[in-house]
Amino acid sequence: MKRELITTNDGSCTLFVPEIEEHYHSVKGACTESQHIFIKQGLKASTASTPRVLEIGFGTGLNALLTLIEAEKEEKLVHYTSLELYPLNWELIEQLDYPHLKLTTDSEAENTRIPAEQLIEEWFEQLHQAPWNEPIAITKRFSLHKVHTDITLWINQNGDERFDVVYFDAFSPEKQPELWTPEIFGALYAMMKNEGILVTYCAKGVVRRSLQNAGFNVERLPGPPNGKREILRATRL
List of residues contacting ligand SAM (CB under 6 A): 24, 57, 59-60, 62-63, 83-86, 150-152, 169-171, 176, 179
Q: How far is the CB of 171 from ligand SAM (least distance, A)?
A: 5
75 vs 234, beta carbon nearer ligand SAM: 234
What Cα–Cα distance (Å) separates residue 66 from each residue in 17, 85, 103, 139, 181? Answer: 23, 21, 9, 14, 28
59 vs 112, beta carbon nearer ligand SAM: 59
Q: Which residues contact residue 80 at a Cβ distance below 8 angstroms, ignoring those fewer than 6 apart?
A: 53, 55, 64, 67, 68, 142, 143, 144, 145
31 vs 107, beta carbon nearer ligand SAM: 31
Q: How far is the CB of 194 from ligand SAM (least distance, A)?
A: 25
Q: How far is the CB of 222 from ligand SAM (least distance, A)?
A: 20
**Which residue has its beta carbon closest to ligand SAM?**
59
Q: How far is the CB of 80 from ligand SAM (least distance, A)?
A: 12
22 vs 230, beta carbon nearer ligand SAM: 22
Distance separating alpha carbons of residues 179 and 148, to the nearest angstrom: 16
179 vs 198, beta carbon nearer ligand SAM: 179
Considering only CA atoms, give the Rg of the chain.
16
Which residues are registered as beta bridge partners of 142? 78
66 vs 192, beta carbon nearer ligand SAM: 66
Q: How far is the CB of 38 from ligand SAM (least distance, A)?
A: 8
Nearest CA to 68 out of 124, 30, 12, 13 is that of 124
Q: Which residues contact residue 72 at a Cβ distance below 8 angstroms, ignoring those fewer than 6 apart?
A: 115, 139, 141, 142
Nearest CA to 29 out of 199, 225, 229 is that of 225
Q: How far is the CB of 170 from ligand SAM (least distance, A)?
A: 5
Give kind and range of the element (H or E) at residue 42. none
